[in-house]
Copies of this chain bind each other. A is one copy, B any other.
Amino acid sequence: MPARASDRAVGRLSLYRRLLSNLLGTGVEFIYSHELAARAGMTAVQVRRDIMLVGYVGTPTKGYSVHQLIASIRHFLDAPQPEGVAMVGIGNLGRAILAYFAGQRPNLSIVAAFDVDADKVNRVTYGCRCYPMEDAARVLAENAIKTLIVAVPAGEAQRVVDSMVAAGIRGVLNFAPARLRVPASVYVEDIDMTTSLEKVAFFARRQSPAEKG
């Protein structure tokens, strides 16, 4: 059942779908769990356990049907209808994120942006209109938006997220280098590109590999 899926399992299912989608058009129609595991950098046991979550069972002789497994993951992960996402902060980072996601996945797309800068309001960037912050509750409700991408400076992130949660947001993808405090009903995932680059550069300078943990 969806409610029992851990956040890591959901992330892995998303990855499996992407790896499987790469196989479409290559002529590969079936894949064994150990083959998918090798591509995903995991164990076959992990892959089988994750795929049990989506309720799909392959055949022992041929493995998983690529098409059917993609469809099962889609049914599990995606909303039945295309879903809108909001973004707050249209600076360098916000524009970069809009450019990246523009046209990526028809089922999940950024349909509204918010910014405090009056010059940005009502402009359309990569197909996405920018609204004033005070319209958030109305715009989120009209578009049934529950998911927010945060691309404001660190010092503004908490205040902005507080008001967006009050306006109806239930999931936050946070690019601001700040730890957000949210109610338990709100899910937060952080992407901190600067910290990640600093980590990689640090370990690239060492001779010995990093100790994971």
Contact = CB atoms under 8 A, between A and B. Distances in A.
This chain's copy number in the assembly: 2
A49 to B, nearest CB: 13
Contacts of A178: 19
A170 interface: yes
Interface size class, chain A: 35 or more
Interface string A91-117: 011011101111011001000000000
Contact of A202 (B10, B184, B195): B10
A209 interface: yes
A18 B189 contact: no
B194 A18 contact: yes
A39 interface: yes
Contact of A213 (B7, B22, B187): B7
Interface of A: 2-8, 10-11, 14-15, 18-19, 22, 39-41, 77-79, 83, 85, 92-93, 95-97, 99-102, 104-105, 108, 146-147, 149, 154-155, 169-173, 177-179, 181, 184-189, 191-213
